[in-house]
């Protein structure tokens, strides 16, 4: 093959690749933000469900018996 044919094939392949920019893709961005916010909301909900309820234990019961 001549070098001109090889150059033409390489140029054709390069033209099909694109210019390096993503066109569109906003659906992916919206989905990613949705997943992120849903994860944060579920984490906040899990913290709220696991929160301590009632009075905090007294310091004497936490420290245990006094050793002398």
Could you report the per-residue pLDDT of 36-63, keeping only the tens digit for each? 999 999 999 999 999 988 876 666 666 6
Report pLDDT for 20.
76
pTM score of the predicted model: 0.50
Q: What's the rounded Cα separation, in Å, for the pair 14 and 26?
A: 26
Cα separation, 40 vs 46, in Å, equals: 10
Question: Confidence class of residue 23 from pLDDT cuts 50, 70 and 90?
Answer: confident
Residue 42: which H helix or E strand, with range?
helix 26-49
Task: Tell me if residue 11 falls in helix, strand or coil.
Answer: helix
Convert 8-22 to b/e letters by CB count within 10 Å (16 or more is b).
eeeeeeeeeeeeeee
Quick check: 13 pLDDT over 90?
no
Structure tokens at 64: 């245990």
């Amino acid at each position: 093959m001549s070098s001109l044919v090889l150059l033409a094939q390489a140029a054709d392949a390069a033209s099909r690749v694109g210019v390096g920019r993503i066109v569109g893709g906003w659906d992916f961005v919206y989905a990613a933000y949705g997943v992120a916010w849903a994860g944060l909301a579920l984490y906040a909900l899990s913290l709220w469900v696991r929160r301590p309820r009632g009075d905090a234990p007294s310091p004497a019961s936490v420290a245990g018996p006094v050793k002398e």
